[in-house]
Chain A
């Protein structure tokens, strides 16, 4: 037993010596790479989201390095896994700041996680860019927190507009994931916008992430005869919902948000999900040159169509790189100011200009699900 406590004491000593504060490398000293730290879900149920974002970020860093790096130094991307848990987010972010000496932080996809990290970054005064967190609260944390994507209120509105004006629906039912703040937020935005545009929400039902049985809610909904179904959840459940909805005889189009995007969506939903629509940041057949070249790089490197999260991972990292270049420094306050001043940045998902709340003013695209992918259906401008 003495041995055991001795080992523990030794471990603590090692830990403490490892933990002694040194100057954060990569910021004040002029040599060594500039570190951009990314905290993403590389394992766990949201691993595909994290992986796409990480890949996009790496492409941005590789491109910048090919052009000579930043301020004469190479850029290093360090990606730490937060396992999709808020406890781990804190550990990952503080490790990136303290151990890896990150000049700026990139992450996350899920808004709850971005909020936790954003607070730490704000307190430590390290700029953070979230590539794809759509909850309004994220950038409200403070002036060191930025984002690269549109907000949920806009996303919900975009789909409502599409449903009313393009699909000409007047009665829609909503099926939301009650355990997911993203889903709840989107459904609220859709609800308000759709009613404002003259439509009618005939029912609002909920499920929980992980559920496999939706027939109870869908049976209730079917009785109210909706012309369409808005399901702003993650792709993991949407496929099953589509099948069970069609099985029960619900015929109208299904609609959703950017959480639908995944190759698994079609695998699980099969024929029942084809023909549905969802709002997204980026369509993989987007016409712009910038988008096309990114899509090509992605396909060459990874062999698949570029997902929106990949594009946003790229854009978020691009924002940081561009800001460092403009600030000509990695000093936190200068970097923060440069990020805030981002204007007309030629990003993959559209030109990025940040508003005073540090959110970009960008359009949403609506895509339609086909047998083997998604096709661009409409663009909804910021309104």
Chain B
């Protein structure tokens, strides 16, 4: 039972990171009908920006506790800002010019941007993994046979807070309403006086900032970062978004947690070799059986 609970705890932890990233995918797909392949690299850049900001702010690996929560928070803010900027830039220069092109064109561009950022990362940061600065030093607790760290708790809390915040934003604020309008029908929203460019940019800002937060939490948990860290994580987060119903925020969160847990249980009880395969299997299963995901609604394509 201990083993099962441990796997569950670990699964929920990594699942929360997937959920944070999945939100970005789901929001962008909602407004643009585009899989933002480059989102996984925004996640990676968030991690690297925190790495460098921590250093710049004087982080000393030999005395991690001296860094303090104030500066840690500043690192988070810097990373989120940098990622938001990157996300908006990608949208502005790579996606916006193609908004009215054929379906395949922005898809290819998205893949291109993703590969570009991955390899720029390798070029600039070097291909080797780097140790992530423990701006929040890790403390291990044991609760009834299950080991939990303060970082895992932090991941839950931060993810939950951010997701609640996002839901509030989408449901209760004007920006959120505008986002939902653009999601539903871009042209009608334009007629209502909403500027799609602004709303789309906002979507990218929020999604990218969330990915950056995910990046920091992931880095703290794994203690290392590398330029290709976004590839697999991004793919799984995307599957989570699809699982929950693309365009559906609560669905993305639920999907992320589900995938995280499924992954851990598969690796624990079946075989670690199939950890990644289970995600693909889930994706294929969902798309075959209920393509609109758990919480999505069927869309009828009108001619």
Contacts and interface: CB of A to CB of B under 8 A. Distances in A.
Interface of A: 43-45, 47-48, 178, 205-208, 210-213, 215-217, 219-220, 223, 236, 239-240, 243, 247-249, 262, 264, 267-268, 270
A213 B152 CA distance: 13
Closest A-B pairs by Cβ, 3 of them = A216-B267, A216-B268, A267-B131
29 contacts: A47-B127, A47-B128, A178-B273, A206-B272, A208-B273, A210-B232, A213-B222, A213-B267, A215-B6, A215-B10, A216-B263, A216-B267, A217-B267, A217-B268, A217-B272, A219-B7, A220-B3, A236-B226, A247-B140, A247-B149, A249-B140, A249-B142, A249-B147, A264-B129, A264-B130, A267-B131, A268-B129, A268-B131, A270-B131
Contact of A212 (B142, B149, B224): B224
B147 A248 contact: yes
B74 to A, nearest CB: 24
Contact of B127 (A45, A178, A207, A243): A45
Given A44-B127, A264-B128, A220 B268 contact: yes
B190 to A, nearest CB: 41
B131 A212 contact: no
A318 B196 CA distance: 67
Q: Give the size range of B's interface with the partner.
A: 20 to 34
B242 interface: no
Given A44-B127, A267-B131, A215 B276 contact: no
A268 B224 contact: yes
Contacts of A262: 128
Nearest to B268: A216
Contact of B273 (A206, A210, A239, A268): A206
Contact of B224 (A45, A208, A223, A240): A240
B259 to A, nearest CB: 12
A216 B275 contact: yes
B170 interface: no
Given A44-B127, A47-B127, A220-B3, A212 B10 contact: no
B272 A207 contact: yes
A183 to B, nearest CB: 13
A270 B223 contact: yes
Contacts of B2: 223
A335 B240 CA distance: 59
B217 interface: no
A383 B149 CA distance: 45
Contacts of A216: 7, 10, 263-265, 267-268, 272, 275
B272 A208 contact: yes
